[in-house]
Structure 1
């Protein structure tokens, strides 16, 4: 498949919305896939009922769930028990410190983008959300120049420089946070221009709201309209109304993304408050 082509169904002259899904720390691709089944189901219903009017139109969804390259052991969590398939995108260090292995995590993502891309967008949870924002940034035009201007910062990843991948259309960060160390300045300065939705849990005690808002502030469109809160803890929301807000955001990224549907179609397909 050519690097800048999209997966197209030649029979119906349509294509699928391709989203990279990045799990949180101590999770895995398959586990994150299980935790986001509700999102997939409602996106499929939405797109099947009312395609996004791109050329060709988007009528379905294809999600990709890679697993982070670092195994997480009990020793990494001060002796706490961990799942057998616990993984991370980098070795976790204290907040604000330079993290270990960020380049390796990015390289893992680059492999997926090269093999299955181009992607339309990315969704991530917790550490995966931090990485999602970084990937969105890296794929923007002229971001490499920003890295070259920061003395002593992280070098622009070679794995991304070698890609022929267009900018992403959107990002969704569930319980996201900012990598605050000065080594990562170029990811956030200048601000991320790609639309990014930030989804916060009102009872999240793992990632504080201030940390997620700090990431939102590094996005050009990171005002309150791009921050939504659900009633849960440190988790991906599963309620129809919360997922509806995510779908609304994705549709709004595309011209005519919220094409009107018949009233009975709206109720029959989603049975929830949607923007069409």
Structure 2
């Protein structure tokens, strides 16, 4: 499940990121689709480590697979790939989603086994989940759940988890779980810095849905919204990924360093639809 890079500095450590795939994907498929992100992040950290107590000069990405198998029946007869999975069973947007607790439990397993993580990245349904996970790991969030009547209870798998708050989250084509049952995830607003990356030609997740999620994240320069020129994708251009890398650097004291520009350009610079 993990994707690793090596570091020659024994005093350094790796940036650990949880990677959450979209609906009808899997961990291995998402890993293949985000190789450009991994490549440029590795190059940035190798050339200019993030200065922390233990310098961050490598990256380790973790790609779990959602617990629900997606079939053609779930997609109104549309044929789906064999490795199609979801984090919960998809219902109409705005309605209660079936199986959210199971999806969160799968993530909690990964955090327990491989954590602590520095951050999380997610795409589409995985981005919605990434924001929820970010919220659950914040200090005091369980008290927010206790104050909401008729809402989803604080997940037991996270109550039992010993994991610090994340440093950052990145949501590619994210969306908000709008049903009142999930209010405690977003109220009070998510305090962890979260970057929201939107495709300007995305016809699957409307911009208003992504902005609704961004609105539930505290602003003030830490949480941001950026747009790329593609559709419902994780961007692969150097310029777009550089913005994501700079955002990650900015959450660490001493990390605000513009990485050396990569000279080479290749076919991976094109947006790749999922």
Q: What is the CA-CA distance between 1:73 and the residue it aligns to?
A: 0.3
- Corresponding residue of 2:13: 15
Mapped to 1, the partners of 2:100 and 2:129 lie a distance apart of 9
- Corresponding residue of 1:73: 71
Equivalent positions of 1:250-265 (< 5 A) are 250-259=248-257
Mapped to 2, the partners of 1:231 and 1:136 lie a distance apart of 27
Is structure 2 residue 156 aligned with structure 1 residue 158? yes
Mapped to 2, the partners of 1:140 and 1:246 lie a distance apart of 22
Q: Deviations over 1:167-216 (max 9, x none)?
A: 00000000000000000000000000000000000000000000000000
Query: How many residues matched?
Result: 259
Provide the TM-score with structure 2 as the length reference. 0.91
Is structure 2 residue 269 aligned with structure 1 residue 271? no
Mapped to 2, the partners of 1:223 and 1:44 lie a distance apart of 25
Equivalent positions of 1:111-190 (< 5 A) are 111-190=109-188
- Corresponding residue of 2:3: none
Q: Which moved more, 1:86-95 or 1:223-232?
A: 223-232
Mapped to 2, the partners of 1:161 and 1:30 lie a distance apart of 28
Q: Deviations over 1:15-59 (max 9, x none)?
A: 000000000000000000001000000000000000000110000
**Which runs of 5 or more structure 2 residues have no equivalent in the other structure?**
1-5, 265-274
Match of 1:24 among 22, 25, 46: 22
Contact 2:194 2:223 in 1 (8 A): no
Q: Once superposed, which parts of structure 1, at least 4 consecutive aligned residues long, lie more than 3 Å away?
A: 8-11, 222-225
SS of residue paired to 2:203: coil
- Corresponding residue of 2:60: 62
